[in-house]
Structure 1
Amino acid sequence: MKLATHPLVLIRLERGWSLADLARLMHREAARHQLRSGIDRNRIWKWEHQVEPTEEHQLLLARVLGVPAAEVEHLGWPWWLPAHADPLPFDPAGSRAAIREATTARMDRRSFLVFASSALATGAAQWATTEPGRLTGALAGQSVDPELLCWLEERTTELRGLANANGPLVAELLEIHLKTTVALIQEARYGQATGQRLHLTAAHLAQSLGWLRFDAAQHGAAQRLWQGALHAAHLAGDRDLGAGVLSDLAYTCTWLGQPKDAVRILGHARARTTSPAARSLLDLRHARALAVLRDRSGVTRALASAENELEHSDPRHAPGWVAWMSPADLSADAGRCWLDLGDQHRAAAAIEGGLSQLDPARRRTRAVFLTYQAEGDLRDKDIEAAAEHARLALDTSLDSKATRCLDLVTTLINRFERHSEPAAADLCDYARHRLAA
């Protein structure tokens, strides 16, 4: 398997090391442990060109880079190296590594290496053109107990539902269940049907946990979880779920100011979906990215398609990961699109309509929509209404415990400091008090 840029090259570039510099560091580390290294710049060059180092050399390199030995064994070469430029490829080795890495996505050591959005788009293209293969062979170990598998599937469904309202409390449970499922995938014996169910369970768990990491502003961890979910869904042959995971990755691109790459990712995802509810969500997220790009005609077409697909969807047959998609989401996110396009009147009506229909249990979504509403009021120079909605957004964000939502509303509240109206001053005082509590 050929990587576009080897992780070891990225590490050296980031740290300013030449091949000879790294060889000297490894010699020095070997001497500290009274070992012989035999490593020179030519050998390291070979490692960067897909010649795998021996286990001893990998452990020595890990000491130089500060990576635990257990991680070297767990992830394998070169995936344990603390750098990646590209998502893992959709071949058996790449998918296994992506699913394994999803279980370590809480670690912060690679948080500075969020996947480049252009690389995510390339990965989406590969996903769209690579057909899932049959699960090959049985791994060593015992057969998967059918009752255990049913239990894992049922708990996964329950935890995904609870995550909408109690994210931080559920994150640890999702993580434990994900590790258990991945351990079964790696160590147990099972047939194709059981393997597909295990990979689907892992995909659902990683997708849900990815959203909780995203809400906590842990973008690198969220992306690694979603990459693992994408590979697991791919191995299970579930194209709709894979498209949904890609739409999550695209949403983060738009959120982080990279709408062009979101459009590319969503184009690949939309082509392989069969569920109307899934297509509606993809079209809506496509509209959001196009709105940031100021493509009014594209937004109009995407929103019309999203509305049409949602009308033809049957909630009884919608995939579980998109069962939350509702007219409330369509209306409020359409309002965000019109807000980005400068149509405040249309935006206000759509956002207000979405908020009135939204399930009260979805506090994170409500916090985001209230922030949009406050931003629209502020653009209309209705300071009193803007302050009232911003106060509600702040309270809801704090209640949801979602860092992402809190960052969004506090950034907006900071804009009130430039206004002299009493309502603006009262809001800023209220925010300082709440945030200090």
Structure 2
Amino acid sequence: MNVELAAHPLTLVRARENWSLADLARLLQREAAREDLRSGIDRNRIWKWENRRAEPCAEHQLLLARLLGVPETDVLLLAWPWWLPAHSNVYSFDPDGSRAALREATTTRMDRRSFLVLAGSALSAGAAQWATTEPGRLHSALDGQQVDPELLSWLETTATELQHKANANGPVVQDLLEALLRTMIGLISEARYDQETGRRLHLTTAQVAQSLGWLRFDAARHGAAQRLWQGALHAAHQAGDRDLGAGILSDLAYACTWLGYPKDAVDILGHARSRTTAPAARSLLDLRRARALAVLHDRSGVDRALLSANAELERTAPGSAPGWVSWMSQADLSADAGRCWLDLGDQRRATDAIESGLTQLDPTRGRTRTVFLTYQSECDLRNKDVGAAADHARQALDMAINTKATRCLDLATTLINRFDKRPEAPAVELRDYARHRLAA
């Protein structure tokens, strides 16, 4: 069974338990017999469940839940297939739950690229809990030594320096960031500190985990990225920083849209926006909401979200944006609005907006430029300008290779694959160029 390509949580459950389709059918038949029921479940029916050809009826779901030890309340609350125990835990937003989430953020697991480790409904439920749970007072009498003020200042300075370096050279500093994160989590779990020191510890931990999550996301290690962002969300909550928490939720939502879960992204962004007042933050949340709604082909929703994103960006005073969204600019708004128009089939508006975004974009933001270049190349293809499309695809490939970000390289090579059957000279030249660049 190729678990890496599995697209259904039930497949993961079977892989974890080492059950074949026939094994699971036999176990469910036995479970039904214990209750004097005739299940009618065979391997073909389970195959249909996993391939989304059919959903199990309520009776069959309860049989499966009893076999797996899942409470009936979870089945009713989360619905099929998200109640299946195939995903990471959602922890409560209290000190103990937050420490557990942070410990899980640094665990090593097989990271699957085709779906999220946490189910979409679980992510949304976690976002809702974050939005409605007020941070409690940090425990100040944990076992261990007192946190030295000079050590804490050094950790904060080091974290800031590494985060800045990660933007330009992520693969080089990611091991250092991970070591720093483990140190911070160790202090949170074992050291003694007063409330203000605890707040600073949690805040720095959240920022480091958020940055490291983006490096994992860029490397297409989506499960690891999600665990880091979940840990970061808990740490930001314990620090009482609602704006940073909203930013971390927006990262989770961005990943949902990227991986094909736009409805979940819309839900998460709604919870995030409810607890932030910074105009720059609201602008980014609205823009990411527009992107998810465009995938869902909700034109009126896109219009409203983009209008709000633009208004909030105009309200942003220079230097007033929270650190996690300080990069937000008109370039981002223009290019991602263009992507929305592209998804909605409005090539003219898409072309103008994406070109404007690329022109205004800070040249040091290589990963973002790669993404925007793929947008522009797709616009060119839809406008039947193969020469321009090939040129922009070539630029995207070069930029992706320079960034060393797997996510960007996947995006560029997927785009170039669309030129495979095109006979035009620019397409042929692009294919040859890509083969040489990727073989180097």
TM-score, L = length of structure 1: 0.81
**Secondary structure of the structure 2 residue equivalent to 1:164:** helix
Distance across 2 between alignment mates of 1:89 and 1:226: 15
Say if 2:155 is the partner of 1:141: no
Distance across 2 between alignment mates of 1:153 and 1:92: 21
1:108 to 110, 116, 140: 110
Could you report, residue by residue, the CA deviation over 1:19-54 in whole angstroms, capped at 9, with x for unpaired residues?
xx9xxxxxxxxxxxxxxxxxxxxxxx9x9689xxxx
> Could you tell me which residue of structure 2 aligns to residue 368 of structure 1?
371
Identity of aligned residues (%): 71
1:178 to 148, 166, 181: 181
> Could you tell me which residue of structure 2 aligns to residue 424 of structure 1?
427
Q: How does 1:288-307 map to 2 (within 5 A)?
A: 288-307=291-310
Say if 2:134 is the partner of 1:123: no
Gaps of 5+ in 2: 1-11, 28-65, 72-84
> Could you tell me which residue of structure 1 aligns to residue 324 of structure 2?
321
Gaps of 5+ in 1: 1-8, 22-44, 51-81
Cα pair 2:236 2:242 within 8 Å, conserved: yes
Cα pair 1:182 1:202 within 8 Å, conserved: yes
2:268 to 251, 265, 268: 265
Cα pair 2:351 2:379 within 8 Å, conserved: yes
2:218 to 193, 197, 215: 215
Cα pair 2:112 2:221 within 8 Å, conserved: no
> Could you tell me which residue of structure 2 aligns to residue 94 of structure 1?
97
Look up the equivalent residue of 1:391 and give its one-letter code: R
> Could you tell me which residue of structure 2 aligns to residue 255 of structure 1?
258
Cα pair 1:303 1:334 within 8 Å, conserved: yes
Q: How does 1:29-428 map to 2 (within 5 A)?
A: 84-104=87-107, 106-108=108-110, 114-428=117-431
Q: How far does residue 90 in structure 1 lie from its aligned partner after superposition?
A: 2.1
Distance across 2 between alignment mates of 1:245 and 1:109: 20
Cα pair 2:111 2:223 within 8 Å, conserved: no
Look up the equivalent residue of 2:352 and give its one-letter code: A
What number of residue pairs does the alignment pair up?
374
> Could you tell me which residue of structure 1 aligns to residue 55 of structure 2?
none
Look up the equivalent residue of 2:250 and give its one-letter code: S
**Secondary structure of the structure 2 residue equivalent to 1:166:** helix
Change (3 A) 1:421 1:110: closer
Cα pair 1:83 1:113 within 8 Å, conserved: no
Q: How far does residue 12 in structure 1 lie from its aligned partner after superposition?
A: 8.8
**Secondary structure of the structure 2 residue equivalent to 1:134:** coil
Q: How far does residue 92 in structure 1 lie from its aligned partner after superposition?
A: 3.2
Q: How far does residue 194 in structure 1 lie from its aligned partner after superposition?
A: 0.5
Look up the equivalent residue of 1:93 and give its one-letter code: D
Cα pair 1:315 1:323 within 8 Å, conserved: no
Q: How far does residue 233 in structure 1 lie from its aligned partner after superposition?
A: 0.6
Look up the equivalent residue of 1:224 and give its one-letter code: R
Distance across 2 between alignment mates of 1:162 and 1:312: 30
Could you report, residue by residue, the CA deviation over 1:323-343 in whole angstroms, capped at 9, with x for unpaired residues?
111111111111111111111
**Secondary structure of the structure 1 residue equivalent to 2:419:** helix
Q: How far does residue 87 in structure 1 lie from its aligned partner after superposition?
A: 2.2
Look up the equivalent residue of 1:108 and give its one-letter code: M
TM-score, L = length of structure 2: 0.80
Cα pair 1:11 1:83 within 8 Å, conserved: no
Q: How far does residue 129 in structure 1 lie from its aligned partner after superposition?
A: 1.0
Change (3 A) 1:419 1:318: same
Distance across 2 between alignment mates of 1:150 and 1:319: 20
Distance across 2 between alignment mates of 1:272 and 1:323: 18
